[in-house]
């Protein structure tokens, strides 16, 4: 049996400065998530990463029964947690440059990109072959890590995957082999071959 997994990137509030933080969604983001709900396929299994923004996105989609999945959590930012990207760049520019160019680097004392990629890959590969259709609201970093794993791409390509809020990554898997299926959740059109 084929696993059909859609990773939906969480909605995001309008921010002036990117922060390494879990901020609550504003009304505009919640409205956008509610609008996306009709375009998603139905699924037997619903997951949401444990962050506030993923939980709020799942609720806005009407997923009251979504299971919080700790393996889908955002990258652990260690000492940078809660800080603005501009602040980190000013205080630890060399560390930020290392973190964004070397997947093994963790200058913040948290999780490296490589560690996160391994965590997400392990979660994907542990999904039961008879899981059927799964929908999950995830962090941008989780969607990036999933694409890197599915394409068997080098981990340094993590930063080359652009995942806007409320974009969908469609994956199909069977027997330890995954495929990336392109699709647009906002169009309402089903991905070819979906039920």
pLDDT tens digits, one per residue of 3-55: 999 999 999 988 767 889 998 999 999 999 999 998 898 898 999 999 999 99
Buried b (16+ CB within 10 A) or exposed e, 38-74: ebbbebebbbbbebebbbbbbbbbebeebeebeebbb
Query: Would residue 172 count as lying in a domain?
Result: yes
Query: Would residue 163 count as lying in a domain?
Result: yes
pTM of the full structure: 0.90
Query: Would residue 130 count as lying in a domain?
Result: yes
Residues 94-109 have pLDDT tens digits of 999 999 999 999 999 9
Determine the pLDDT at residue 57. Answer: 98
Determine the pLDDT at residue 195. Answer: 42
Helix (H) or strand (E) holding 122: helix 113-126
CA distances to 90, 101, 111 from 78, rounded to whole Å, are 17, 18, 7
The CATH number of the domain where 181 resides is what? 3.40.50.1240
Expressed in angstroms, the distance from the first to the final Cα of the chain is 14
Query: Would residue 133 count as lying in a domain?
Result: yes
Query: Would residue 100 count as lying in a domain?
Result: no
Query: Would residue 92 count as lying in a domain?
Result: no
Which structural domain, as residue segments, surrounds residue 14? 3-76+113-187
pLDDT above 70 coverage of the chain, percent? 93
**How many domains are there within the chain?**
1
CA 144, 85, 103, 157 dihedral sign is positive
């Amino acid at each position: 049996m084929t696993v059909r997994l859609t990773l939906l990137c969480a909605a995001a509030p309008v921010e002036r400065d990117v922060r390494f933080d879990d901020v609550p969604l504003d009304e505009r983001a919640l409205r956008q998530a509610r609008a996306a709900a009709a375009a998603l396929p139905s699924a037997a299994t619903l997951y949401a990463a444990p962050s506030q923004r993923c939980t709020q996105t799942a609720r806005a989609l009407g997923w009251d029964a979504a299971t919080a999945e700790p393996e889908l959590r955002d990258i652990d930012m260690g000492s940078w947690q809660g800080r603005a990207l501009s602040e980190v760049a000013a205080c630890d520019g060399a560390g930020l440059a290392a973190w964004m160019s070397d997947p093994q680097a963790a200058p913040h004392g948290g999780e490296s990109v490589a560690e996160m990629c391994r965590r997400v890959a392990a979660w994907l590969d542990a999904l039961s072959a008879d899981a059927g259709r799964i929908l999950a609201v995830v962090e941008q970093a989780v969607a990036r890590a999933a694409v890197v794993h599915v394409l068997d791409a080098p981990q340094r390509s993590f930063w080359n995957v652009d995942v806007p809020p409320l974009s969908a990554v469609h994956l199909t898997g069977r027997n330890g082999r995954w495929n990336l299926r392109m699709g647009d959740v906002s169009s309402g059109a089903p991905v070819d071959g979906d039920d």
